[in-house]
Chain A
Amino acid sequence: MTTGDRSAASAFDVNKVRGDFPILNQMVNGNPLVYLDNGATSQKPQSVIDAIVVYYTTTNSNVHRGVHTLSQQATDGYEGARAKIREFINASDDKEIIFTRNTTEGINLVAHSYGRQNIGAGDDIIVSNMEHHSNIVPWQMLCEETGANLLVVPIDDTGELMMEEYKKMLSPRTKLVSITHVSNALGTILPAKEIVKLAHAQGAPVLLDGAQAVPHMPVDMQELDCDFYVFSGHKLFGPTGIGILYGKAEYLETMPPFLGGGEMIKSVTFEKTIYADLPYKFEGGTPDIAGAVGLGAAIDYVNNLGFDQITAHEDELLRYGTDALSAISGVKIIGTAPHKAGILSFVMEKAHPHDIGTILDEQGIAVRTGHHCAQPVMQRFQIPATARASMAFYNTKEDIDALVKGIDRVLEVFS
């Protein structure tokens, strides 16, 4: 009841929202831009662009260094962003939020630091069949180095994780489970909480790849109870070059540093170096301060809209898009799990995804085509590639209509 009142009071006005994203208001190849490649990277609201401009115009200085005013302001901005992120994902403490470059770096940090310290020959690392390459390759590298085994949980024909198989794989040998929260190629939302609970019952920690989850749904570290959570700022309406690793303090405290250098030390002599406390132990070198400030502004923007509105709008778009694409003869959606985020991967009988991509681009429609850095998913469905329309809250039903019209044009060319 109250929900109804609230949504009535602040009805989601997608056109007003679009006005906040200057890049959307342009023509591409003679047509209004229809941006449906949000899974690759999202667009940035003016407030994020402004935050970066203001930072470089008025505040730029190095953090945690000088006693001068600008350095203090830059530090406040940087640490203020950390606090916003802590709150955004409901972590217990700011020190559990590590700034990285992106999701890939977060996973590599855990593989190098936690992995080398805790995983050895004969141990098992579990991933799924629908991981992005960034959640496969670091573990393969670790397995090669240590003699550990990489186990892969299969997925069914709809793109859902086969939980029974996962349960069978878990054992006292399991030393880490590293699984995506939302599949970038299929859109499947995985039962993260249950995955974590089952792994913990075997004493194994869990890393969740949240790159495709955080733009679409609220994530709560206390609720999920995962041990590591990684994501990128640029898919969350923030700038490129900044990402987040969340880790439970109990793990981060005992893990060795990743990159050695400035910023991550308490004291250095040639005899002995004492590492800094969390989170700085993992932030060697001057960080992307403007990136952190921009990401903080992006989180402010998302919070202001609210996930109630965002998920309601995106769910409606996904339903609309799924119905529209399903109705086109010769088009097949890949990834039909009941719980999905706004991703529509599809193939066409007569046209290869790259040809689809080129013909759509000619009409100003941006989609991603290829294997989406998830080749094992393509192998699972026995396809070389897909075309992927991935949505954000600023997309509209008109965008979907344009996509359908674009697909009609593909059918015309390949008739």
Chain B
Amino acid sequence: MAGLSDLYQEILLEHNSKPHNFKTLEEVSHTSEGYNPLCGDQISLFLKVVDGVIDDVGFQGTGCAISRASASMMTQSIKGQTLEKAEEIFEAFHYMITEPGGELDLDTLGDLETLSGVNEYPTRIKCAILAWHTMKAALSDDSTAVSTE
């Protein structure tokens, strides 16, 4: 069983205190709202997609360290990537968070592997996955708000 130090790794805490791409965008092609009604975590995600490539991405919202760090790391990992690659990263991340003990696609995940400890904390999986479902909804042009409840 992963301990607290596996969950709250230094890199996660840094993303929490200084999140990357914590901003709104002037030009937005895709946007979505994510909400966890059980705990009140909320995220607004903005994407600027040009010719099938995520040119810029920003997020705003409130949440715990895990949801905030996960959102921050997600924006870092998908920025500059094609939509196909973003989908691939989503799948790798989703698998890592929801399938404890599974073999990880470390090449695709990169730094995101830092969040793997979350899969030992069932009550916190929703926190880590919120930004990701919001991204998926934004890219599928699903205008209804996402809920991880």
Contacts and interface: CB of A to CB of B under 8 A. Distances in A.
A385 B40 contact: yes
A61 B39 CA distance: 41
A132 to B, nearest CB: 15
Interface in B14-46: 17, 38-42
B58 interface: no
A353 B13 contact: no
Contact of A354 (B4, B17, B127): B127
A350 B68 CA distance: 13
Contact of A413 (B13, B42, B121): B13
B64 A353 contact: yes
Contact of A370 (B38, B62, B65): B38
B28 to A, nearest CB: 24
Interface string A375-411: 1001000001100000000000000000000000000
Contact of A358 (B7, B38, B42): B7
Interface string B62-95: 1111101000000000000000000000000000
A54 to B, nearest CB: 35
Contacts of A353: 64
A385 B124 contact: no
B2 to A, nearest CB: 11
B63 A414 contact: no
A315 to B, nearest CB: 31
A358 B40 contact: no
Contacts of B38: 370
A76 B38 CA distance: 41
A350 B65 CA distance: 9
B123 interface: yes
A355 B8 CA distance: 9
A346 to B, nearest CB: 15
Measured as residues with beta carbon below 8 angstroms from the partner, the interface class of chain A is 10 to 19
Contacts of A359: 4, 8
Nearest to A409: B4
A358 B62 contact: no
A378 B8 contact: no
A281 interface: no
A352 B4 CA distance: 15
Contact of B4 (A384, A385, A413): A413
A355 B64 contact: yes
Nearest to A362: B4
B40 A370 contact: yes
B8 A384 contact: no
Given A352-B64, A352-B65, A371 B39 contact: yes
Interface string A48-62: 000000000000000
A102 interface: no
A352 B40 CA distance: 11
Given A358-B121, A358-B124, A414-B13, A352 B8 contact: no
Contacts of A358: 4, 7, 121, 123-124
A381 to B, nearest CB: 13
A370 B66 CA distance: 15
A331 B86 CA distance: 39
A369 interface: yes
A353 B41 CA distance: 11
A355 B66 contact: yes
B68 to A, nearest CB: 8
Contact of A352 (B7, B63, B123): B63
Contacts of A371: 39-40
B63 to A, nearest CB: 7
A388 to B, nearest CB: 13
A24 interface: no
A351 interface: yes
B39 A370 contact: yes
B65 A355 contact: yes
Nearest to B62: A384
Interface string B115-135: 000000101100100000000
A354 B13 contact: no
- The CB with the most chain A CB atoms within 10 A, among B65, B66, B124, is that of B65
Contacts of B68: 352
A369 B126 CA distance: 14
Interface of A: 350-355, 358-359, 362, 369-371, 375, 378, 384-385, 413-414
10 contacts: A352-B68, A354-B41, A355-B8, A355-B65, A358-B7, A362-B3, A362-B4, A370-B39, A413-B8, A414-B13
Given A352-B68, A358-B4, 18 more contacts: A351-B65, A354-B41, A354-B66, A355-B8, A355-B66, A358-B123, A358-B124, A359-B4, A362-B3, A369-B39, A370-B38, A370-B39, A378-B40, A384-B41, A384-B42, A413-B4, A413-B8, A414-B13
